[in-house]
């Protein structure tokens, strides 16, 4: 993609124009990719994968960690990643729904939102782990469970800090 350079002394307007051009370019690339994909399943998979760099990085670290014990075949790796992304997508939908349902982010509304968020995060983690159980050996699953527990605890701390700031 041809991206414009922003000079050191660029104005806010120039920066916004360049960012808008880049956003439009990305939308055009997405449109072209969508035209190339034939099946609804491929289109859905593309939508899941296109903003999943963080989750892909997490899963790749896990795959690297267990590589010496018993390598995980590529089809199972793909299935694990897609499962994680599907559960992330469901979590994101729940969060959007909670935000729409709870208009008052002070007092009881904020407490309720935090409780629902924590519960939804745990459901996300549990559902992903349940889907991963049959794709891994017991040792691989335990390694994944430990990693995911730590990652979800970190995610909760980050979400909680942001919510408490509101």
Residue-number span of the structural domain to which 124 is assigned = 45-165
Burial of 32 (0-12, 13-18, 19+ CB in 10 A): exposed
Looking at residue 1, its pLDDT comes to 46
Is the same domain home to 3 and 76? no
Same domain, 17 and 90: no
Burial tier of 157 (Cβ tally within 10 Å: 0-12, 13-18, 19+): exposed
CB 118 within 8 A of CB 161: no
113 and 161 co-located in one domain: yes
Asked whether residue 74 falls in the same domain as residue 129, the answer is yes
What local confidence, expressed as pLDDT, does residue 161 receive? 86
Instruction: Check whether residue 49 and residue 32 sit in a common domain.
Output: no
Shared-domain flag, residues 58 and 135: yes
**CA end-to-end span of the chain:** 37
Pair 24, 88 in one domain: no
Q: Are residues 6 and 31 in the same domain?
A: yes
The total of structural domains in the chain comes to 2
The verdict on 126 and 79 lying in the same domain is yes
Q: How far is CA 115 from the centre of its chain?
A: 21
Distance CA 123, CA 87 (A): 9
- Whether 25 and 79 map to the same domain: the answer is no
Sequence-ordered list of residues with C-beta below 8 angstroms from that of 59, at least 6 positions apart, any chain? 77, 80, 81, 84
Q: What parts of the chain have a pLDDT lower than 70?
A: 1-8, 101-107, 166
Whether residue 59 sits in one domain with residue 125: yes
Given the structure tokens 């034939």, which residue do they identify? 38
Q: Are residues 71 and 107 in the same domain?
A: yes
Contacts 24+ apart (CB under 8 A), 41-49: 45/82, 48/82, 48/85, 48/86, 48/89, 49/85
Give Cα 80 to chain centroid, integer Å: 13
């Amino acid at each position: 993609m041809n991206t414009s350079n922003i000079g050191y002394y660029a104005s806010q307007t120039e920066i916004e124009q360049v960012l808008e051009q880049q956003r439009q370019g990305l939308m055009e690339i997405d449109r072209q990719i969508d035209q190339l994909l034939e099946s609804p399943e491929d289109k859905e998979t593309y939508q899941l994968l296109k903003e999943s760099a963080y989750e892909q990085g997490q899963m790749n670290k896990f795959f690297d960690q267990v590589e010496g014990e018993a390598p995980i075949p590529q089809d199972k790796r793909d299935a694990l990643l897609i499962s994680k992304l599907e559960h992330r997508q469901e979590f994101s939908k729940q969060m959007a729904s909670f935000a729409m349902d709870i208009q008052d982010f002070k007092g009881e509304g904020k407490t309720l939102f935090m409780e629902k968020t924590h519960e939804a995060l745990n459901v996300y983690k549990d559902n992903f782990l349940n889907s991963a159980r049959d794709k891994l050996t017991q040792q691989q699953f335990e390694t994944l469970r430990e990693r995911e527990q730590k990652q979800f605890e970190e995610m909760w701390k980050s979400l909680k800090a942001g919510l408490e700031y509101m």
